[in-house]
Structure 1
Amino acid sequence: MSEHERKLAEAQREHWQQTYGEHPGRYGEEPSEPAVHAAAVFRAADAHEVLELGAGHGRDALHFARDGFTVLATDFSPGSLEQLREAAEVQGVAERVTTAVHDVREPLPLADASVDAVFAHMLLCMALTTKEIHALVAEVRRVLRPGGAFVYTVRHIGDAHYEVGIGHGDDIWEHGGFAVHFFPRALVDHLAEGWILHEVHAFEEGGLPRRLWRVTQTVPR
């Protein structure tokens, strides 16, 4: 990691920690549309354990838990995970939710082929370099069991904020304090090499709106 990349990563960690501290439950209690889709995919694959990367304050992790899955929710913001744990207690699903502070630039703290399914809503398009994204997806594949499903979403280069604000190189642009890696389609295809790619679904979210892809892929059996 270069010095610029290190400083950007540290600044983003501090920015997210501050954001969750100042705006508890920032994204509301209702699950995202991709999480509802992912739960259906995971049920169809007979999954029982879900790893969520970048869980934030937990609206999606809690949805998976309410749906009967056992969930390991990770995020690099301790404050957001504290909010998640409190909400899990209130909703009566604390026994199905475990949290772990983790930066996805580091290897996942899990054994090989130990997880049924992985979900990541807009985590891969944070301030990660292309090299770091490839390493993360390799880690996801390592911890997934054969036939395991990976559902993730990313903002793409058709988004209104692409090439707006501060450019950090490698298609990473910072706007309003939030740095985003905007994905070209070629990157999605490269990340799916060696997987079974089921869909790349375009959708919109939020008031801008943000333009995203929802990607569903599985490890071959």
Structure 2
Amino acid sequence: MPEQGPEAADAQREHWQRTYTGHPGMYGEAPSAAAVHAAAVFCVAGARDVLELGAGHGRDALYFAGCGFTVRATDYSPAGLEQLSTRAKELGLDPAVSATVHDVRRPLSLPDRSVDAVFAHMLMCMALSTPEIHRLTDEVRRVLRPGGTFVYTVRHTGDAHYGAGTAHGDDVFEHGGFAVHFFDRALVDALAEGWDLREVHAFEEGDLPRRLWRITQTLPGGRAPAREDGERRGDGPPRRDT
């Protein structure tokens, strides 16, 4: 079985750059269901600023900004972030959104305890090795303030594509040029050590459909969001006028 290595992640970076260049706004303007949920959780927790990892062309980052959060959006595709910045200006949201090219295999260029919430939709299950995923989670812990919230989504080992396609080792399989690290529950639990694991929610997305987990975990200290079984339901956080 081929081994997962830095060259696989580098190849994925080039693949995503070509994809965003060739297909501007490929995911549309509507936010993901995960982002809508995360915004409500962040609002209940009293968060003001959000770091999004793997923001792509910005559909979720712009939604967060429209909800009144200050957003730091990162991605390793300059093409995607250029689309994000352009759309933010068109919507009048550019004062609330900053976009930075960043490879999550490297330390985050943010101070300790500098953000209230972190969001990552299918970024954690990119072509990253298990040690790289652990290091990234440690970086998220470092930049979050006490009581801060981390919401992320991943494709899991119950997905139809798990175990098929080109195997790169470490539960990474490639289909159509896109490599995915499929998570099992043991990895989710390991990443939550030292956190309060508040939710592991199974859902489906897309035409396959992709099978994912949405994970919510918080750091000790500060105000934490209500657990899912006791969370107040509503129409979501107030939106910023645009």
TM-score category of the 2 structures, normalised to the smaller one? over 0.9
Equivalent in the alignment of 1:67? 67
Equivalent in the alignment of 2:13? 13
Equivalent in the alignment of 1:199? 199
Identity of aligned residues (%): 71
Q: Distance in 1 between matches of 2:85 and 2:34?
A: 22
Q: Any residues of structure 2 matched to 1:99-114 within 5 Å, and which?
A: 99-114=99-114
Equivalent in the alignment of 1:145? 145
Q: Distance in 2 between matches of 1:72 and 1:168?
A: 31
Equivalent in the alignment of 2:52? 52
Q: Deviations over 1:129-150 (max 9, x none)?
A: 0000000000000000000000
Residue identity opposite 2:171 in structure 1: D
Equivalent in the alignment of 2:234? none
Equivalent in the alignment of 1:32? 32
Residue identity opposite 2:14 in structure 1: E
Is residue 4–residue 169 contact of structure 2 (8 Å, CA) maintained in 1? no
Q: Deviations over 1:31-80 (max 9, x none)?
A: 00000000001001110000000000000000000000000000000000
Residue identity opposite 1:214 in structure 2: R
Instruction: Spell out structure 1 runs of 4+ moving beyond 3 A.
Output: none
Q: Distance in 2 between matches of 1:10 and 1:214?
A: 26
In structure 2, runs of 5+ residues without a counterpart are: 222-242
Q: Distance in 2 between matches of 1:194 and 1:17?
A: 35
Q: Distance in 1 between matches of 2:205 and 2:151?
A: 16
Equivalent in the alignment of 1:136? 136
CA RMSD of aligned residues (A): 0.8
Ranked by relative contact order (alpha carbons within 8 Å, sequence separation 6 or more), the top structure is 2
Q: Distance in 2 between matches of 1:201 and 1:10?
A: 31
In structure 1, runs of 5+ residues without a counterpart are: none
Residue 214 of structure 1, CA deviation: 0.1
Q: Deviations over 1:158-208 (max 9, x none)?
A: 000101110000000000000000000000000000000100000000000
Residue identity opposite 1:36 in structure 2: V
